[in-house]
Chains A and B, each alone.
Chain A
Amino acid sequence: MSKIKKLSPLTETTFYILISLLEPLHGYGIMQKVVKLSRGRINLGAGTLYGALSNLVNTGLIIPKDSQKSNPRRKIYIITEMGKKLIEYEVDRLEEMAKSSRSLLEKKGI
């Protein structure tokens, strides 16, 4: 748990990449998924995605799966158990941020 806490907070980009890997995806699949999840707000740059994937693999939050037979050049990634725990922790954190901010706004009548 302390390790999970140390990794938080994730950047918005890293968070979306991690959560999109709840299902196995290759690089381009992640890009499309993140556009969808963020309702078109986040258009991942290829350099940003490549760097984030290496970092996530090095931290043990995702692992590369065996490549597709149809296209061995495309590496596929999937989230690990630790990655899932971090996502849960992050969602709680974001919920807390959203809830307390929302109630403060309401109290002030904004």
Chain B
Amino acid sequence: MNGITDNIKYRSVFKIFFAWQGEKEEKWLKEMSGGGWHLNRVGYCNYGFVRGKPEDIIYKLDFKPFLNKKIDDYITLFEDAGWEYIARLGCWYYFKAEAKKGHSLELYSDNASKIRMYNSLRWLLIILCGPIVYNLPNFYGRVIRTMGTGISDDPLAQSLIVNLAFPLAIFLTLVLGLMIYGIIRISIIIKKIRQDIKE
């Protein structure tokens, strides 16, 4: 490293991980810490790092929906267990711990509770699909009707539908496809854990 980059203390990195890539994300954060960049802030597809000594640090993501009122209990319990709370992004909570510490280095110590976590994640995705599935036929109906009848009586409505509703319908279709893909990926993860004879 030359003199200029040595002075950089904070760094922000753009990176995309999907909901079913938690373990990949944890591994990446561990590698960043190994290179002396420690996570201190999490945003959507955006990770803030602070510079420090290269260290062997384990990162864990926990998915917990509907926690708002009980967040203190939750974080205290994790801290007592040796985890340091870093940040929260939506229903995701980021924790870290030194790899050499004597405590359990897994957040979930049995398969039953691991499955429960993935199940709640899968449910959230299914629920989020609801409004899109409900609205999509309506969007496409309008677009097809307008395009089928040619120029509508109302030029403003015509322009809104072509320039707004159509791209939005395409976008929502892509989002829906991604969410269904996510649900399938998570189902595969759950199935793999279930195949394990361990409890």
Contacts and interface: CB of A to CB of B under 8 A. Distances in A.
Nearest to B103: A43
A60 B190 CA distance: 28
A48 B108 CA distance: 5
Contacts of B77: 27-28, 46, 49-50
Contacts of A11: 110, 112, 199
Contacts of B80: 26-28, 31, 74
A51 B74 CA distance: 10
A42 B106 CA distance: 12
B118 to A, nearest CB: 12
B109 A43 contact: yes
B21 interface: no
Contacts of B76: 27, 73-75
A69 B117 CA distance: 33
Q: Is the interface of A mostly helix, strand, loop or mixed?
A: helix
Interface in B68-107: 72-74, 76-78, 80-81, 83, 103-104, 106-107
Given A27-B77, A47-B62, A12 B104 contact: no
Given A50-B77, A75-B76, 19 more contacts: A11-B199, A13-B110, A13-B112, A13-B113, A27-B77, A28-B80, A45-B107, A45-B110, A45-B113, A46-B77, A46-B78, A46-B81, A47-B62, A47-B107, A47-B108, A48-B108, A48-B110, A51-B117, A74-B80
Nearest to B78: A46
B112 A44 contact: no
Contacts of B199: 11-13
A31 B113 contact: no
A28 B81 contact: yes
Size range of the chain A interface in the assembly: 20 to 34
Contacts of B62: 47
A82 interface: no
Interface in A5-41: 11-13, 26-28, 31
A26 B103 CA distance: 17
A61 B50 CA distance: 44
Nearest to A12: B199
Q: Which 7 pairs across A and B sit closest by C-beta, in order of nearness?
A: A47-B107, A28-B80, A45-B109, A46-B81, A27-B77, A48-B113, A43-B104
